[in-house]
Amino acid sequence: MARKIIPGVGPQHPQVIVLFGATGDLSRRKLLPGLFHLVSFGFIPGCRIIGVSLDDMDAEGFRAFARQALKEFSSRKVNEEVWAEFSAMLNYVSLSAGAAALRAAVLTAGEELGTESRRLHYLSVPPSAALPAVHMLAEAGLVEGSHIVMEKPFGTDLKSARSLNARLHEVFDERQIFRIDHFLGKEPAQNILAFRFANGLFEPIWNRNFIDHVQIDVPETLELGKRAGFYEQTGAFRDMVVTHLFQILGFMAMEPPTSLEPAPISEEKNKVFRSMLPIDPRNVVRGQYAGYRSEAGVDPESDTETFIALKCLIDNWRWAGVPFYLRTGKRLAEGQRIISIAFREPPKSMFPAGSGVSSQGPDHLTFDLADASKMSLSFYGKRPGPGMRLDKLSLQFAMTDTGLVGDVLEAYERLILDAMRGDHTLFTTAEGIERLWEVSTPLLENPPPVRIYQPGDWGPRSIHQLIAPHVWRLPFERVWRDAAPAPA
């Protein structure tokens, strides 16, 4: 059965995808299921996927691997007809077969797809394997006219990031490079742009005159499990903050771009990063959950943080004096991804004593960054009945109310499609990354000691001093309202 191709959404040309790290965890969980969905939705007009990894297997072995990955990790039901079509698109070249074998497989795939096909190289490999893969592509003569997707980490500090970018640029042009940050591919992250710039209501108050402080809070309940060895070298700051949380901060804080095109958006985001003040280690709480040091692959005296909370300042006209509090960590009390904006409070003098004005904190605009996103605007309103007693009320929106949740693309799906189309809007630039490492330098050079917290808690106790006189929004005092039941 030939797939019905939906024009205009995906790339114009068929794609040969070279997937380095094809048998790795990310490939299994996200990339192979994501590519399968993109093919099954008809977003890609023809494709061949060449898996590359250290494993010694053939195309049949790779097909079996992909089938198992879909079984375990596909969020949607797998249609057997589409699978048969998809599996015929898969091929495999072991790294040990070398550049010439890779070249031959890519050229054959390209010929099968016709003269108009394009190449996408996806490097889903650990940092130490990224440059060797780039050089293998160069040796195979597969650089020209292709796009390359790189996974984090993009260095571990300013020096290594600069060196990585410089060495990458010896082979690939910046326009060919797509540095993926999957948080920017999440539907609600893009919705921040729509919400801010497609409405007249909020942008006028999106500044220091009206906003008191902002929280970007991404606690996770996850344990490290098999990732402990990787994590031990990385820690929460490098794994989550310097990548995902700072990128979300960029969308939240940037000026309106001249258009919703890649270059103007990157430029505005980079301006935010340029205005960020270097992180003061006194404004940082590093934590480690009790028991981490006895996990496999972890140094018994490890100083790696599994939790971090910090205060950032953006010294520009829009944000000077408005603290941005960021927090994330593993084995915390709840898994959440929120941005919460606290508005300045009005004078309270006119309300009678005991009215409850301001007793439940300031008005908040809150974004839930879950795939089925939610938003809430909280405010004080009058409690029905005699006198003037106030309650905290809220306006809430849930994506599930729209009936369109099924249309949500997973972050990787969206980003793969964009990289194929050559659209850099949701990707990070060399300049942006280097600046983020630069502002991080004082913290990396002088990290405060890690403080132990109990698994299932919200981090070490000093997080409260960090944010005082404000308080962390999480855990929420009032839970989100359930989505409205679908009309009968």
- Would you please indicate which residues are annotated as catalytic (active-site) residues? 244
Decide whether 28 or 392 has the Cβ nearer to ligand BG6: 28
Q: Per rule CB under 6 A, is residue 217 in the interface with ligand BG6? A: no
Q: For 111-157, give the DSSP string.
A: HHH-TT-EEEEEE-S-HHHHHHHHHHHHHTT--TTEEEEEPSP--SS
Q: Minimum Å distance from CB 296 to ligand BG6?
A: 17
CA–CA gap between residue 94 and residue 62 (Å, rounded): 10
Decide whether 16 or 416 has the Cβ nearer to ligand BG6: 416
Q: Per rule CB under 6 A, is residue 457 in the interface with ligand BG6? A: no
Q: Segment 84-103, which members bind ligand BG6 (CB under 6 A)?
A: none
Decide whether 217 or 220 has the Cβ nearer to ligand BG6: 220
Helix 158-169 × helix 127-139 angle, to 10°? 10
Interface pick for ligand BG6 out of 93, 124, 184, 220 (rule CB under 6 A): 220
Q: Per rule CB under 6 A, is residue 222 in the interface with ligand BG6? A: yes
- Spatial strand order in the sheet of 146-150: 90-94, 47-53, 15-20, 118-123, 146-150, 177-179
Q: Segment 174-213, which members bind ligand BG6 (CB under 6 A)?
A: 182
Decide whether 283 or 336 has the Cβ nearer to ligand BG6: 336
- Closest listed residue to residue 279, CA positions, set 156, 437, 155, 443: 443
Q: Minimum Å distance from CB 337 to ligand BG6?
A: 6
Cβ atoms of residues 365 and 375 within 8 Å: yes
DSSP category for residue 457: B
Binding mask 144-163 for ligand BG6 (x = CB under 6 A): --------------------
Decide whether 231 or 380 has the Cβ nearer to ligand BG6: 231
Binding mask 337-356 for ligand BG6 (x = CB under 6 A): x-------------------
CA distances in angstroms from 380 to 250, 374, 460, 481, listed in the order given: 30, 20, 32, 17
CA–CA gap between residue 76 and residue 462 (Å, rounded): 42
Q: Minimum Å distance from CB 94 to ligand BG6?
A: 27
Structure token digits, residue 343: 């508005």
Q: Minimum Å distance from CB 356 to ligand BG6?
A: 36
Backbone angles phi, psi at 428, to 5 degrees: -105, 155
Decide whether 10 or 188 has the Cβ nearer to ligand BG6: 188
Decide whether 220 or 368 has the Cβ nearer to ligand BG6: 220
Q: Segment 309-338, which members bind ligand BG6 (CB under 6 A)?
A: 337
CA–CA gap between residue 276 and residue 254 (Å, rounded): 11
Number of residues lying near ligand BG6 (CB under 6 A): 5
End-to-end CA distance of the chain: give it in Å, rounded.
Answer: 36
Q: Minimum Å distance from CB 478 to ligand BG6?
A: 24
Q: Which residue has the CB atom at the shortest distance from ligand BG6?
A: 239
How many Cα atoms within 13 Å fall on the side-chain side of residue 335? 5
Q: Minimum Å distance from CB 288 to ligand BG6?
A: 15
Q: For 373-433, give the DSSP string.
A: -EEEEEEEEEPSSSS--EEEEEEEEEGGGGT-GGGPPPHHHHHHHHHHHT--TTSB-HHHH
Binding mask 237-266 for ligand BG6 (x = CB under 6 A): --x---------------------------
Q: Minimum Å distance from CB 87 to ligand BG6?
A: 27
CA–CA gap between residue 426 and residue 192 (Å, rounded): 12
Residue numbers at the binding site for ligand BG6 (CB under 6 A): 182, 220, 222, 239, 337
